[in-house]
Amino acid sequence: MWRDALLVAGKDLRIERRSRVALNQVAPFAVLILVLFAFALDPDRGDVLVQAASGLFWVAVLLSSLLAVQRSAALEAADGVADAQRLSGLDPAGIFLGKAAAVAVQLAVLEVILGVGVVLLYNVHLSGIGTLVITAVAATIGLAAAGTLYGVLAAGLRVRETLLPLLLLPVVAPVLIAATRASESALTGLASAVAPADWLRLLAVFAVIYVAFGVAAYGSLMEES
Partner 1 sequence: MDPVVHLRAAVCVLGRFPALAGIDLDVEAGEVVLLRGPNGAGKTTLLRAVAGLVPVVRGEAVVLGHDLRRDRRKVRRHVALLGHTTGLYDDLTVDENVRFWARAARTTSDPVEAQDRAGVQARIRGVAVGRLSAGQRRRASLAVLLVRDARLWLLDEPHAGLDAPGRDLLDDLVRSAAAQGTTVLLASHELERATPLVDREVVVVGGHAEAEATVDVA
Binding site for partner 1 (CB under 8 A): 4, 7, 11, 14-15, 18-19, 75, 78-81, 83-90, 219
What span, in angstroms and rounded, lies between the C-alpha atoms of 83 and 80?
5
Residue closer to partner 1 by CB (options 81, 112) is: 81
Shortest CB 219 distance to partner 1, Å: 8
What span, in angstroms and rounded, lies between the C-alpha atoms of 90 and 85?
7
What span, in angstroms and rounded, lies between the C-alpha atoms of 141 and 50?
26
Residue closer to partner 1 by CB (options 44, 79) is: 79
Residue closer to partner 1 by CB (options 7, 126) is: 7
Shortest CB 217 distance to partner 1, Å: 15
Shortest CB 11 distance to partner 1, Å: 6
> Is residue 93 within 8 Å of 213, Cβ to Cβ?
no
What span, in angstroms and rounded, lies between the C-alpha atoms of 37 and 33?
6
Residue closer to partner 1 by CB (options 86, 171) is: 86
What span, in angstroms and rounded, lies between the C-alpha atoms of 51 and 55?
9
Shortest CB 157 distance to partner 1, Å: 14
Shortest CB 160 distance to partner 1, Å: 18
Residue closer to partner 1 by CB (options 43, 156) is: 156
Tell me the helix, strand and coil percentages in the chain, rounded to 5: 85, 0, 15
Q: Is the dihedral of CA 41, 46, 47, 48 positive or negative?
A: negative
